[in-house]
Homo-oligomer: A and B are copies of this chain.
Amino acid sequence: MPASTSAVTDPADPDALPGQRVRLGVDRPMRLDSGLELGPFTVAFQTYGTLNEDRSNAVLICHALTGDHYVLDRHPVTGKPGWWEMLVGPGRPVDTDRYFVICSNVIGGCMGTTGPKETDPATGAPYGLSFPVITIADMVRAQKLLVDHLGIEQLFCVIGGSMGGMQVLQWAVSYPESVFCAVPIAAAARHSAQNIAFHEVGRQAIMADPDWCGGAYLLEGKRPHRGLAVARMAAHVTYLSEAALHRKFGRNLQDRAALSYGFDADFQVESYLRHQGISFVERFDANSYLYITRAMDYFDLAADHGGSLPDAFRHAGKATPVRFCLVSFSSDWLFPTAESRAIVHALNAVAANVSFVEVATDKGHDAFLLDEPEFHQVIRGFLEGCAEHRGLTARRRAPAA
């Protein structure tokens, strides 16, 4: 009766994954917020389009909690289309005919970048819980090393949704001189108590699975698939809106004409959730889930600046004016519009260059991954305006659709 996970494969072998890779922190390990050091470490990434001569057309995409760097490519484990191919590509709002697009798997992740499932060179065994706890700022530090490695002094744009939006904000705060424009989508300047609570439920579900083995499941030849599936199911409900769930599923029954009076998935929404749980464990590592949710919970931009969010943005707003475009979605209750508004207020308080759009949609937090025409128009328009300012000439082969 529980979601069957017996047929599930393990998360991908990093050595067999497509894409580019670079060793960073080789000469000098990277100093983390925790005070620990990491290095050398691997960053797995993909690029799309061509870097122009003056290296001014690079767009860094930051992925969300369970995302990765396969923005446009068919996913090597699931075979599904790239997670942002509706927004990114030739002639798309993030136009790969015009921009050089970079996306890297975050540190702590499980798709090729160094994380808890990789081998600790000091012991020859998987890191597991000996991997250092990382933060959003640490993820961004690793991205900065990658961008330096690629010889790019200033990114034209940093863009991302959800945890990706947190990274965008961190870029603007940590490296304002390296960002021409920034697009944080469905994000927040600090993780709320409710969001920490939902993450904690997921972590407890994983750690309650005996196959988690105190984090050492790889050494034991096990995988906490059941706990990770429950964590994913709990999270997935929060990514949708009540209206979207009602529209998609309502109280419709799954492959039956009447209630079963049992504990099978009677309702379509149950069947959908079970599928979300089962398919997730094919592609994700349980310890990575612990580390990345922790990084999001720790995120609090103001806390690092005496509790003042405007102070956090002071450099981004004044010394080197990053151009901001914030986007929120009206039915997103995980990162509600109020969170974006608080960021806009802080940016206004330091006279930053900021525009803000709340997109009306019933699709909830997940809207940033979906076909949402108004959202896509906003991104296209903002980037075109900024590209003109930056002196980027269009390289499009055909007019925009």
Which A residues have a C-beta under 8 Å from some C-beta of B?
1-3, 33-36, 129, 132-133, 190-194, 196-198, 200-201, 203-205, 207-210, 212, 214-215, 226-227, 229-230, 233-234, 237, 240, 242, 245-246, 248-251, 259, 261-263, 265-267, 269-270, 273-274, 277, 290, 294, 297-298, 300, 303, 333, 336
Contacts and interface: CB of A to CB of B under 8 A. Distances in A.
B197 A237 contact: yes
A208 B227 contact: yes
A24 to B, nearest CB: 21
Nearest to A129: B263
B230 A197 contact: no
A57 to B, nearest CB: 37
Given A3-B204, A205-B205, A269-B200, A194 B233 contact: no
Given A208-B2, A230-B201, A196 B269 contact: yes
B209 A269 contact: no
29 contacts: A1-B207, A3-B204, A3-B208, A129-B263, A133-B261, A133-B262, A190-B251, A193-B246, A194-B237, A194-B245, A197-B237, A197-B245, A197-B269, A200-B267, A200-B270, A200-B273, A201-B230, A204-B229, A204-B230, A204-B233, A204-B273, A208-B209, A230-B230, A234-B234, A242-B333, A251-B300, A259-B298, A263-B290, A263-B294
Contacts of A129: 263
Q: State how many copies of this chain the complex holds.
A: 2
Nearest to A294: B263
Given A197-B269, A237-B197, A277-B204, A192 B246 contact: yes
A80 B210 CA distance: 32
Contact of A201 (B196, B237, B245, B298): B237
A300 B193 CA distance: 33
Nearest to A334: B242
Given A192-B242, A193-B249, A251-B300, 13 more contacts: A3-B204, A196-B251, A196-B267, A197-B245, A197-B269, A200-B265, A200-B270, A201-B230, A201-B237, A207-B263, A208-B226, A210-B210, A234-B234
A348 B193 CA distance: 40
A136 to B, nearest CB: 13
